[in-house]
Amino acid sequence: MNVDLSKLVHGGKIPISGKVKVPNEFLKDTDIRRITPVDVTGYVLDKDGNYELDINVKGVMILPCARTLKDVNYPFNININEIIGENDDNSLQIIQNRLEIFPIIWQYILVDVPLRVLAPDAKEVPLQGDGWRLITEDTNEEKIDPRLAKLKDYIKE
């Protein structure tokens, strides 16, 4: 998404409104399976030779469930407030009076990806099965290994 900075009068704003489609090659090394076109609204403001980007990004990412690997819709709503300087090494480059803001949007989307999501029907977790059961720290059960049971006779309390 390009912003034409030549429309910006000193001290003025450029409104930003539109949808951004994330290319599939951006999803390769992420947990995101798919992402809907992202709604971007906000403005770019001229601030003493720097540009302030104040936008809101909304969309839905499809992520794998941590237990079942089913698709889970994860809606996101991100507010971005960045200052972009013309002479700043860490900022985006302004080429021919145009500013490409998609890299900033993509960085914020990646930061918003949760570590794990659960499908609504994945809440039922079996606590025991064929030859196994879940043991937690709260389980207060001392079971003596039968191979070591004879050692109990040698310990005097």
User: Across the chain, which distance is largest between two alpha carbons, in Å?
Assistant: 90
Q: Which pLDDT belongs to residue 156?
A: 67
What's the confidence (pLDDT) of residue 133? 79
Six token digits for residue 154: 């040698």
Q: Is the dihedral of CA 13, 15, 111, 26 positive or negative?
A: negative
- Model pLDDT, residue 141: 66
- Give the pLDDT of residue 152: 76
Burial class (CB in 10 A: 0-12, 13-18, 19+), 102: middle
pLDDT, tens digit (0-9, with 9 covering 90-100), for 38-68:
999 998 887 777 778 889 999 999 999 988 8
pLDDT digits (tens, 9 = 90+) for 4-32: 666 666 667 888 888 989 888 988 888 99
